[in-house]
Amino acid sequence: MKTYLTDFVEDARAMERFDTLGVSAMLQLESALDRERAFGQVLPEAAACTADCKMKAKEKYQSDVWLEIEHLNEGIVPEDPRSSSVALCDTATGATAQCETDPVENIFEQNLKIKFYISSGSTSPSSHSGDEADPVKIVDSAHLPVHTPTIKRKECHSSILFPTKSKSHRFFLTSFTAPTKCHQCTSLMVGLIRQGCACDACGFSCHTTCVEKAPRACPVPSQQKKGALCLDAQEGIGTAYEGHVWIPKKAGLKKGWQRALAIVCDFKLFLYNMDEEKDSKPNVVVSQVIDMRDGAFSVSSVWPSDFIPARRKEMPRMFKVTASQLSAPSNQYSVPILADSENDKCEWVGVLSDLHKMLRKSHSRDRSVYVLKEAYDSSLPLIKTTQTAAIIEIIRVGDMKKIHQIELIPHGQMVAVISGRSHHVQLFPMSALDGRKTDIHKLAETKGCQTMTSGTVCQGAHTCLCVARKSQVFCYELFQSKKISHRKFKKLQIPTNVQCMAIFSEELCVGFQSGFLRYPLRREGIPYRMLHSHDPTLSFIAHQPMDALCAIEISSIEYLLCFKSIGIYTDSRGLRSRPIELMWLATPTYCCYNAPYLSVYSENAVDIFNVNSMDWIQTVPLKKVRPLNSEGSLNILPSETIRLIYFKNKMTYGDELVFPETSDNRQKQMVRHLHSKRRYSFRVPRGKGGPPAGL
């Protein structure tokens, strides 16, 4: 019944468009006829002939209009023989235009069309001629059913419009299931879903930000098409080279090679894993990204002296790409790559070397924010058991088996931890970090909790701790005098299991699957939806359930809601505040925020975004790294030797982490400054090498 109503609404809208177009066209004909009649008073003989022709044209036009409406009523849509897909021309290989594009470009068979379309702002398609047309706007159609159009479907869409010499594009917001390049700027459209737009009639695909720049004629004239490989060296935008290669499997090169698609785009090397089947297509998830702007970037052939565990007969086809990993101690990493032939290897090495030289000559600005340092001696046994940023001190305080989360509460001069198999919340005074004997305050009803957050309310007068247990949240006010005490002042029931929490402006923000709510803490009241149900541009989230990772308060009137598939900007009313969404390169596992930078952790890397400009500015190539604090400045790297990694912000003055002057790393202890949530230091206990340093 729902599908029938949707089709009926579409047909009704089509009828309205036809009526509008028909009336508009007939008024234009009548106006022209009146002008001809006035002119006929001067030239009566010519006027008679002209009027007769115009009347016949008008009658024929009206007949065509009513015939078209009859076809719509009967469910018949005549085919438009001029509808055809656009074949791209690869300028690098010299291939001519063809009916079917390559697997990376073929969008009609492999892509899922979803819930948005972009249409021309002009009432009549005939107004579009060449590139001069009305601005393109995004029109929400989230209520339309999900579909994967075929060639026949495309013809039906295009034939609804009146036949004109130049048609306009019908852009649908699209979730591509394979790496796809923008036909306008030739850059990759990265992301897990809703990466860009595709014309339903001709297949022209582009970023949503490139829609306004795209040629308006549909299909795009051959002289206005860009090649599949086209790089703007000055802007650093576009695809320069691509091809199939082999990279080491996830378990290492000793386990063999993995087929991959390699694309050199925007002066970055993108690697996409492929299945070993013959006709397999690359996954939309980026496996690895290597930035050519990296100061240690280099490309070279592989030699036996490199000690890479590969077969000797594979050496002539191998090359390696090197980039920096840690700055202190200095550490680089190399990715061995196997080409299909020795000639292919030479081409890859030549192209990457030339592009790197071009990049250095252009003096491209390094946009990276973080410098990576090893923050602790990796030989210490306690590093291997680290779960949170301050677990080393907490383990010394109590005999807890495992710490799941730690929350430092500087306003209340206490520390809260979720620990043990029962996942209880326990509170310690800050003095426990100095090794003093202190009492442990346990919150009994928090057994089985999964997360917690702390903050202040009433302009900092009261300290608040919120603890989530399944779909319930307990809100406590904490007191610190001689002993720690608490008072539960609110219990909240969430629609489903809580996945993340944060306190913004005396409101508790709770994230759960496909949603976020804001609850007032100091007063009674209903929660505020951070995704308004009346905003149709956000309805796709409810239809595609996705986990909530975190919420960020960008300002008092704007928030960034991070889900596992996408990041969305909303205002204080829960309506979309920006038309563009934040795209992840791979499936995220954690999100950390240190204003204004968002760190998105995935299996193979950490991607850094500026939430204000929405720019992707850095990729940290650390596999399976995990954050230890909410800002993401301290991280644990479970490599062969487990390491504690410190992300130093180059934009801040001085180090957040202070190291003592001692040669014996085993005597160092890491503590957090009591008066600063984002400042840490290492110190040496008294009697073991001098007074504390860095405090």
* CATH of residue 428: 2.40.128
**Contact predicate 569/559, CB 8 Å:** yes
**Residue 437 domain flag:** yes
Q: What is the pLDDT of residues 236-289, one digit of tens each?
A: 789 999 999 999 998 888 888 999 999 999 999 999 999 877 678 899 999 999
C-alpha–C-alpha distance, residues 220 and 200, integer Å: 13
Task: Report the pLDDT averaged over residues 447-458.
Answer: 92
How confident is the model at residue 151, as a pLDDT?
Answer: 28
Backbone φ and ψ for 569, nearest 5 degrees, come out as -95, 130
Residue 668 has pLDDT above 60, yes or no: no
Length of the chain: 695
Q: Kindly report which listed range (24-28, 211-215, 249-253, 451-455) carries the lowest average pLDDT score.
A: 24-28
Structure confidence by residue, pLDDT tens digits, 425-440: 999 888 777 767 778 8
Final residue in a domain of this structure, among 462, 493, 524? 493
Predicted local distance difference test score (pLDDT) of residue 543: 87
For 276, the 3-state DSSP assignment is coil
Same domain, 356 and 303: yes
Residue 409 forms part of a structural domain: yes
How confident is residue 59, by pLDDT bands cut at 50, 70 and 90? low
**Regarding predicted confidence, which is higher, 268 or 200?**
268
Hey, which residues does 501 pair with through a beta bridge?
510
Our count of domains for the chain comes to: 3
Same domain, 304 and 358: yes
Query: CA-CA distance, 169 to 221, in Å (whole number)?
Result: 13
User: Cα–Cα distances in Å, from 347 out to 26, 242, 303, 316, 416?
Assistant: 61, 11, 17, 13, 57
Q: What is the pTM of this model?
A: 0.72
In a domain, 193, yes or no: yes
Residues 246 and 352 in one domain: yes
Instruction: Please state which of the ranges 54-63, 234-243, 523-532, 668-677 shows the lowest mean pLDDT.
Output: 668-677
Residue 509 has pLDDT above 70, yes or no: yes
Q: Whole domain around residue 213: which residue ranges?
A: 167-225
Question: Residue 655's pLDDT band (boundaries 50, 70, 90)?
Answer: low
Q: Report whether pLDDT(77) > 80.
A: no
Q: Is residue 296 part of a domain?
A: yes
Please report the pLDDT score of residue 266 as a whole number.
Answer: 93
Q: What is the mean pLDDT of residues 228-235?
A: 76
Lowest mean pLDDT among 131-140, 575-584, 666-675: 131-140
Answer yes or no: do 256 and 358 share one domain: yes
Q: What is the mean pLDDT of residues 101-106?
A: 36
Task: Please state, rounded to an integer, the average pLDDT across all residues of the chain.
Answer: 74
Lowest mean pLDDT, pick from 62-76, 106-120, 577-591: 106-120
Q: What is the CA radius of gyration of the chain?
A: 31
| 216/245 same-domain check | no
The answer on 243 and 175 residing in a single domain is no
**Which CATH number belongs to the domain containing residue 300 in this structure?**
2.30.29.30
State the pLDDT at residue 332.
85
CA 168 from centroid of its chain's CA atoms: 29
Residue at 473 is within a domain: yes
Mean of pLDDT values over 550-577: 96
DSSP string, 345-390: HHHHHHHHHHHHHHHHHTT------EEEEE-S-TT-GGGGG--STT
Asked if residue 124 has pLDDT above 90, the reply is no
Report residue 61: phi and psi, to 5°: -60, -45
Averaged pLDDT, 453-474:
91
| Res 192 pLDDT > 70 | yes
Please state the rounded mean pLDDT for residues 339-348: 95
Same domain, yes or no, for 329 and 415?
A: no
CA–CA gap between residue 143 and residue 556 (Å, rounded)? 31
> Do residue 187 and residue 290 come from a single domain?
no
Q: What percent of the chain has pLDDT over 70?
A: 65
520 pLDDT tier (thresholds 50, 70, 90): very high
Residue 277 resides in a domain: yes
267-281 per-position pLDDT tens digit: 999 999 998 776 788
Range in 412-416, 452-456, 672-676 with the lowest mean pLDDT: 672-676
- Whether the pLDDT of residue 172 is over 50: the answer is yes
Last residue of a domain, one of 459, 493, 527: 493
Question: Last residue of a domain, which of 319, 351, 366?
Answer: 366
Can you give the pLDDT at residue 694?
A: 32
Flag whether 678 is in a domain: no
- Paired tokens of 336: 């061995």
* Residues 347 and 256 both lie in one domain: yes
User: Given this model, what pLDDT does residue 289 score?
Assistant: 95
pLDDT score recorded for residue 410: 80
Are residues 408 and 485 located together in one domain of the fold? yes
- The predicted model gives 665-674 an average pLDDT of 49
Distance CA 85, CA 517 (A): 44
Which has more confidence, 36 or 150?
36
The model's confidence at residue 28, banded by pLDDT at 50, 70 and 90, is low
Provide the token pair at 420: 């043990």
Task: Please indicate, yes or no, if residue 303 is contained in any of the structural domains.
Answer: yes
Give backbone dihedrals phi and psi of 155, rounded to 5 degrees, phi first.
-65, -35
Are 297 and 334 in contact by the 8 Å Cβ rule? The answer is no
Say whether both 221 and 294 belong to one domain.
Answer: no
List phi, psi (to 5°) of 321.
-115, 125
Confidence of residue 162 (pLDDT cuts 50, 70, 90): very low
Confidence class for position 393, pLDDT limits 50, 70, 90: very low
Higher-confidence residue: 428 or 393? 428
| Alpha-carbon torsion (127, 131, 133, 137), positive or negative | positive
Q: Is the pLDDT of residue 476 over 80?
A: yes
Q: How much of the chain exceeds pLDDT 90, in percent?
A: 40
CATH number of 215's domain: 3.30.60.20
* Res 36: pLDDT: 52
Q: Which of 146, 174, 200, 192 is nearest to 543 (CA)?
A: 146
CB-based contacts of 56: which residues, under 8 Å, 6+ apart? none
Q: Are residues 347 and 415 in the same domain?
A: no
Looking at residue 54, what is its pLDDT?
53
Mean pLDDT for 608-632 is 93
Phi, psi of 96 (to 5 degrees): -85, 170
Q: What are the structure tokens assigned to 56, written together?
A: 């016949």
Q: Which residues pair with 657 in a beta bridge?
A: 680
